[in-house]
Structure 1
Amino acid sequence: MTAEAEATDRLLTDLTALRTTVQDLRLPLDLPGAEQHRRTARRLVDHLDDYLLPRVRQMGAPLLAVVGGSTGAGKSTLVNSLVGTEVTASGVLRPTTRSPVLVHHPDDTAWFATDRILPTLPRVTGRDAQGRALRLVPHPDVPRGLALLDAPDIDSVVEENRELGEELLGAADLWVFVTTAARYADAVPWDLLAAAARRRAVVTVVLNRVDPPARTAVAADLGRMLTENGLPEARLVTVAEAPLTDGRLPRAAVAELEAWLRAVVGDGAAREQVVHRTVAGAVEDLLATVPVLASAVDEHVAHAGRLRSQLHEAYGDARDRVEAATSDGTLLRGEVLARWQEFVGTGELFRAIEARVSTARDRVTAFLRGRPAPEPVAEAISSGLVDLVVDAADRAAERTAAAWRADPAGARLVEGLRLTRASGDLRGRVAEQVRAWQRGVLDLVASEGADKRSTARFLSFGVNALGATLMVVIFASTGGLTTAEVGVAGGTAVLAQRLLEAVFGDEAVRRLTRVAHADLVARFGRLLDDEARRFATVVDALDLTPAAGERLRAAAHQVADGSAWLGAVVELPPVLSGPGDRADDVRTEPAPEESGLRRWWRSLWEG
């Protein structure tokens, strides 16, 4: 295998990898410019599929000359005149070209009958083909190694025709751009010619139906515009206004263009130059676009990260609020405090505990016999905890939804979703977790009492009472209470603390309190995480990969390194270059000196 063949194989591999990377890009958020970036990504994939990959895969395939241009410029008439017979429909009704027509030599049929190029277009034959299909017409008067493709109008009133016309021009080895004296300054053609300039495409501009007296002035102006728009090497061919015979121009009218096309395929060196130049230009244009797409991907990833941060901040604050409220005395208000006071009485139990420690257990035990059951205390605690968590979840949902809706991209994500409040079933799920937690508290108390033989008799009837007392101790710090509440809550804290210490000892009480509170916080944390997941799922569905931008850059670097050998071929051979019919006073600037794709890519990247 020759060195060039090895280089071509490497380029094909690198381009295929880049195509996969671009195809996998996700740009899902409605950020400024996002739709344009999505179109750019689709355009790159289409250009790789339609031209670059098939051309690099088979560098020796016939050249494709796409004949494109404005509505009514005479493209179909020009193709028919070059072939010498009617192979594509022309007429006064617009749009005329229903399906693109590809005319080729019969010996080249195998190159175009498959989906080697333009794979999304099915192949058809017959004159009545319409829509997105490629009509193949073999004809012996077309030179071997060359195909002419009559494309739809680039400024057609039918959007599908416009898009198809641009797609076909992107698949061209040669551009034959047809315009008229009345239409050559239109904006749409120059947008496409700008793309040709970026790709360093080999372009011939046909100025059709020119009135001979105006030829010099119009050609001079068009030549100037070509130079100013980055196409100094584009050949300009003028075709004088002439009567049609059987719908075709006189052979002499298209002789110059015909000779130019035959010269391209008839000169092996010229043909190779055309292929290398067009491939190099297409790769160069591809690589110039990659940094923009990579930055766009980074922006989407970063924006999704900001949405996640807003979500995490809101629900993180909710978890902090719940944790604080279950330890700073907030819950010892209202119903919980009332039920506790009913359970322990006024000061009788406190005075019992104030007695000497040696008799405290007996005094407490005697006092608690016949007191109201502790279940109302547990129920009040449960109700307070449920309200606390649901309120925190409601606030977090409202805060997150408000933050996202203030962001156009975030607003689109939650559009139509009911996320401004907590889940409808959250209250029931919280109540279930509270009940499970309370059972766990009773198990802790029972387990601790079982280890102390001296408390066995007391525990035989006091587990529920001690469990309710432990719950009060967990919530009984005065850190979050107002001045008026400190006395009441402080007494409550002392009472509950002394009772448990009298039974279990101070170290055991601290341990039980710590374990039970940690369990409660963990249960509520999981519930809030489930609530936050409603928002997180929306972001997860964006399927954004944090390293996508870097992967795209790395794939482009591989292409740049592997295609550097193409950059050495930049100058058009004499048979293809020159001003053609440009006026003598229109100077053609020389093409800028090139130094290879590798150096170009690195300078672009570093700049």
Structure 2
Amino acid sequence: MITALVRLREALQDTALPLDVPDAESRRATRTEMVDQLEDYVLPRLIQIDAPLLAVVGGSTGAGKSTLVNSVVGARVTEPGVLRPTTRSPVLVHNPADAEWFQGARILPHLARTTGATDDAGSLHLVAHDAVPQGLAILDAPDIDSIEEANRTLAAELLAAADLWLFVTSAARYADQVPWGFLKAAAERSTAVAIVLDRTAPEAVDEVAGHLARMLTARGLRDSPLFTVHEGGLDDAGLLPPDAVAEVRGWLHGLAADTDARAAVVKQTLDGAIRSLARRSHDVADASTAQAAMVARLRTAVDDAYDEAITQVDKASADGTLLRGEVLARWQEFVGTGELLRSLETKVGWLRDRVVGWVRGKPHQAERVTVAVESGLESLIVEHAESAAERAEASWRSTKAGQDLVEDSGAGLGRASRGFRAEVERAVRDWQHGVLTLVREEGADKRTTARFLALGVNGLGIALMIVVFAHTAGALVGAEAGVAAGSAVVGQKLLEAVFGDQAVRRLAERAREDLNTRVQELIDGERRRYLDVLDRLGVRDGHADRIRAVAREVDDLRFAAAEAATSTHHHAGGATT
């Protein structure tokens, strides 16, 4: 069981619930509470089952908890708070012989130990006193309804670390909602609870105690002992008269003296805590599933936006869209397209061998085409990256969880990243360089031919780029593309005049694949900004299954132990008979 509960603690700690999805806040609180109870109480108690019984005294503001503890001990071991809220460390009173059980980090390991009174709520003030019987320790906790959140949180943690709750209330406060919220949780977990009705006028004791008893019964705490302490004066040490707390003191001392009774209290609370942990683990698992589902939804929105950008860039860089405007004008300057196109329309066959002669471009005109291609391609990629960023951000903002991520990231996710244009410029130049390399390699044995010399590597490279921009599904686009298609035909004829049609198709396909790869890498880099935000959340598939599996193991071990205990009891009974 210890091994299974250690695995449960690890599974709970490893489960991230960062997103603001329905019930996330309450589930985060549940997970934290469960981990704390495992570390503060369940595991330490299982490992050292014979440790002294820890009775935590809790209750509402002004119920008289500290005065009750002092009066039960018979000495001023904890300071009652005059001003509210009282900020001080919780006080644990124990028998000197039991000091070793509490000086280390066996229970409440996150609280530093001190033997002197302090205002540090992160410390546990240890007080050794002979009046506390060996085998029992009493812990005075902060108010459960303190106006200070830190006090309320600490009070809840201390109660979760108790073998026994000694719940203190008063005639004026016994019906308050906050205490009953704690008592309800105690009933659900089968925690051992005793109630002290404190500061009650003698004439009102029967009426208030009767009503309180009925409330306890209705809420599953019928078997919880109910003690009454009459309202009365305090002595010079601030203690109630001994007979006022005699019943409470006698009951606690009786528990300390009776090993079986003490063990029964520990077993009741421990079994209830383990059962509750196993049950509530499924709530945390459900919350983990909801987190993973939201991450998947946000991831899909990002992928859809950026996949669409890749598709649109691929389409626009292959359907002739780029062969317009500046690119078209510079290309026409380079090849004298008007006259050449008229000849192509009537004498395609004849022109194949003569097409190079029509090219009248000069080196500076080739450079203009290169610059126009670079600029057009850069603008195309940046435009679609910006659109993808906007779409992804809009999709995220449609959910509260996604909106929080956008605002908390501080990365300007709704726009392309700041250095993206420079990255695109480099990638496009690298692609153009790669195109020239393809041409140079393909023309290695043709560099002395008149056709190759007439156009040169740059001229042929430009022609290949033009062909790529109108090269859908491995073939030039149809005549419906108009001037763009005609421009591409010119480019293709120029290339075919030097390399032949098979080589041109191969070159165009390789150049297009290279362009697509570079575009994919660029867009994926932008996509990564969003995905990094999701990855940093630590939400992983499989965490929910891991929690459920360990919770089922804990339950199986509980049931097996219960069956073994029942079997042992029956055998013992038979032997006795």
The partner residue of 2:218 within 199, 223, 228 is 228
Partner residue in 2 for 1:459: 452
Partner residue in 2 for 1:472: 466
Partner residue in 2 for 1:67: 57
For residue 386 of structure 2, what is the amino acid of its counterpart?
A: D
CA contact under 8 A between 1:280 and 1:566: conserved in structure 2? no
CA contact under 8 A between 1:277 and 1:569: conserved in structure 2? no
The partner residue of 1:418 within 412, 417, 420 is 412
The partner residue of 2:518 within 515, 523, 542 is 523
CA contact under 8 A between 2:279 and 2:551: conserved in structure 1? no
Q: Does the alignment pair 1:385 with 2:365? A: no
Q: CA deviation at 1:401?
A: 1.6
Range moving further from structure 2, 518-527 or 67-76: 67-76
Residue aligned with 2:482, SS: helix
Q: CA deviation at 1:565?
A: 5.0
Residue aligned with 1:207, SS: strand
Q: CA deviation at 1:560?
A: 1.9
Range moving further from structure 2, 298-307 or 437-446: 437-446
For residue 61 of structure 1, what is the amino acid of its counterpart?
A: A
Residue aligned with 1:398, SS: helix
Distance 1:511 1:91 in 2: 88
Residue aligned with 1:289, SS: helix
Residue aligned with 2:173, SS: coil
Q: CA deviation at 1:122?
A: 1.5
CA change 1:467–1:352 in 2 (3 A) is farther
CA contact under 8 A between 1:344 and 1:371: conserved in structure 2? no
Partner residue in 2 for 1:291: 282
Q: CA deviation at 1:47?
A: 0.9
Range moving further from structure 2, 123-132 or 501-510: 123-132
Residue aligned with 2:245, SS: helix
CA change 1:359–1:67 in 2 (3 A) is closer
CA change 1:31–1:360 in 2 (3 A) is closer
CA change 1:180–1:452 in 2 (3 A) is same
Partner residue in 1 for 2:250: 259
Deviations 1:382-417 (A, max 9, x none): 111111111111111111122222322112212133
CA contact under 8 A between 1:311 and 1:532: conserved in structure 2? yes
Q: CA deviation at 1:378?
A: 2.1
Range moving further from structure 2, 222-231 or 462-471: 462-471
The partner residue of 1:401 within 371, 375, 393 is 393
Normalising by structure 2, what TM-score? 0.90
- In the TM superposition, structure 1's runs of 4+ consecutive aligned residues that sit over 6 Å from their partners are 351-354, 481-485, 568-571
Residue aligned with 2:449, SS: helix
Partner residue in 2 for 1:605: none
For residue 261 of structure 1, what is the amino acid of its counterpart?
A: L
Deviations 1:212-262 (A, max 9, x none): 332222122111111111212111111223333332222222222222212
Q: Percent identity?
A: 53
Q: Does the alignment pair 1:271 with 2:262? A: yes
Residue aligned with 1:148, SS: strand
Q: CA deviation at 1:125?
A: 1.7
Q: Does the alignment pair 1:33 with 2:26? A: no
The partner residue of 1:433 within 414, 417, 427 is 427
Partner residue in 2 for 1:85: 75
Q: Does the alignment pair 1:511 with 2:503? A: no
1:348-363 correspondence to structure 2 within 5 Å: 348-350=339-341, 360-361=352-353, 363=354
CA contact under 8 A between 2:5 and 2:43: conserved in structure 1? yes
CA contact under 8 A between 2:451 and 2:497: conserved in structure 1? no
Distance 1:47 1:356 in 2: 86
Deviations 1:529-562 (A, max 9, x none): 1111122211121122211111111222222223
Residue aligned with 1:374, SS: helix
For residue 273 of structure 1, what is the amino acid of its counterpart?
A: A
Range moving further from structure 2, 196-205 or 68-77: 68-77
CA contact under 8 A between 2:164 and 2:192: conserved in structure 1? yes
Structure 2 alignment gaps of length 5 or more: 567-577
Partner residue in 2 for 1:587: none
Distance 1:424 1:97 in 2: 50
Q: Does the alignment pair 1:444 with 2:438? A: yes
Distance 2:540 2:481 in 1: 52
CA change 1:335–1:423 in 2 (3 A) is same
CA contact under 8 A between 1:200 and 1:277: conserved in structure 2? yes
Q: Does the alignment pair 1:557 with 2:547? A: no
Structure 1 alignment gaps of length 5 or more: 1-10, 572-607
For residue 290 of structure 2, what is the amino acid of its counterpart?
A: E
For residue 439 of structure 2, what is the amino acid of its counterpart?
A: V
The partner residue of 2:187 within 197, 212, 220 is 197
Q: CA deviation at 1:371?
A: 5.8
Q: CA deviation at 1:197?
A: 0.8
For residue 426 of structure 2, what is the amino acid of its counterpart?
A: E
Distance 1:187 1:42 in 2: 23
Partner residue in 2 for 1:540: 535
CA change 1:461–1:61 in 2 (3 A) is same
Q: Does the alignment pair 1:16 with 2:9? A: no
Distance 2:539 2:472 in 1: 47
Distance 1:169 1:271 in 2: 18
CA contact under 8 A between 2:356 and 2:494: conserved in structure 1? no
CA change 1:456–1:197 in 2 (3 A) is same
Distance 1:369 1:106 in 2: 106
For residue 300 of structure 1, what is the amino acid of its counterpart?
A: Q
Normalising by structure 1, what TM-score? 0.86
For residue 126 of structure 2, what is the amino acid of its counterpart?
A: L
CA contact under 8 A between 1:30 and 1:409: conserved in structure 2? yes
Distance 1:339 1:559 in 2: 76
Q: Does the alignment pair 1:323 with 2:314? A: yes
Partner residue in 2 for 1:56: 46
CA change 1:103–1:568 in 2 (3 A) is farther
How many residues in Structure 1 have an aligned counterpart in Structure 2?
Answer: 559
Distance 2:225 2:204 in 1: 19
Residue aligned with 1:299, SS: helix
CA change 1:491–1:150 in 2 (3 A) is closer
Distance 1:449 1:130 in 2: 82
Deviations 1:245-292 (A, max 9, x none): 332222222222222212222222222211111110011111121111
For residue 381 of structure 1, what is the amino acid of its counterpart?
A: V
Q: CA deviation at 1:346?
A: 4.3
Q: Does the alignment pair 1:103 with 2:93? A: yes
Q: CA deviation at 1:302?
A: 1.3
CA contact under 8 A between 2:58 and 2:155: conserved in structure 1? yes
Distance 2:418 2:509 in 1: 31
CA contact under 8 A between 1:329 and 1:475: conserved in structure 2? yes
Q: CA deviation at 1:564?
A: 3.0
